[in-house]
Amino acid sequence: MQKNGIIDFTLIYNRFKKPLFNYISKVMKSDILAEDLAQNVFMKLYDNLDRIRNSATIEVWIFRTARNEIFGHFRKKKNLVEETFEIHEEKILTSNLLEDYEHKELIDFIEAELNCMDRGNSEIYYLKEYSGLSYKEIAKIMEITQDIVRSRLFNVRKKLKDAIIKSGRS
């Protein structure tokens, strides 16, 4: 790849590294896995940069590829015991944060709520909030209708708000 290819890649990488990593991390519930899968996405991006030149579609390409990586990972999941141990370890670390109820931050509470939700709902919520993709683009990636996207997001927001009200936070 020519020199300006590296520059283009670096620009795109810098733009998407945070939302991509965070999205995968929330869906996989693991930073370790998120790094692996995000790395795969960026390597594929680098290999295919010449073909994905149209910048309007890079966002869609990145998150669609991310979802493919996620599904691919679930299909390949062989050693379940090893996997769940890693994730369990991470959960212990994060739940320590929640133990100190007095200092529990709103964000921790929100994330705990989303963690409890059905993955299909939390995934679409994080995808929307992190990627900034439109209903239309999300519908295309997930192969569902825009109405479904709209209503799922609405439901997640409602559940979050109700949970927070119930816990008595301002």
Partner 1 sequence: MNCNDINLMISEYLDNELTKEKEVLLFTHLSTCHECREEFKQQNTIQQEVKLHQKEVGVSFEERIFSSIRYQKESTTRRWITKQAPAYINYVLGIVIIVITLISFFQFRSIKGDLNYLEVRYENALERILYQTHQINLMMNNMPAIQITTPPADM
Helix or strand holding residue 52 (H, E): none
43 binds partner 1 (CB under 8 A): yes
Contact 32, 86 (CB under 8 A): yes
Residue 38: name the closest of 10, 13, 1, 55 by CA. Answer: 13
11 binds partner 1 (CB under 8 A): no
**Torsion of the alpha carbons at 81, 85, 88 and 89, rounded to the nearest 10:** 180
Structure tokens at 64: 């669609």
Task: Find the binder of partner 1 among 24, 42, 61, 65 (CB under 8 A).
Answer: 42
61 binds partner 1 (CB under 8 A): no
Q: What's at 133, amino acid-wise?
A: L
Binders in 129-148 for partner 1, by CB under 8 A: 129-130, 134-135
Binders in 76-115 for partner 1, by CB under 8 A: 106-107, 110-111
Structure tokens at 9: 């890649």
Smallest separation (angstroms) from partner 1 to the CB of 168: 13
63 binds partner 1 (CB under 8 A): no
7 binds partner 1 (CB under 8 A): no
Stretch that binds partner 1, among 18-26, 66-74, 78-86, 96-104 (CB under 8 A): 18-26
- 4/75 with CB nearer partner 1: 4
First to last CA, the chain: 53
Count of beta carbons in the 10 Å neighbourhood of residue 66: 25
d(CA 157, CA 160): 5
38 binds partner 1 (CB under 8 A): yes
Task: Find the binder of partner 1 among 8, 19, 30, 37 (CB under 8 A).
Answer: 19
Structure tokens at 65: 């590829």
The residue ranges that bind partner 1 (CB under 8 A) are: 1, 6, 9, 13, 17-19, 21-22, 25, 31, 35, 38-39, 42-43, 46, 106-107, 110-111, 126, 128-130, 134-135, 150, 153-154, 157-158, 160-161, 164-165
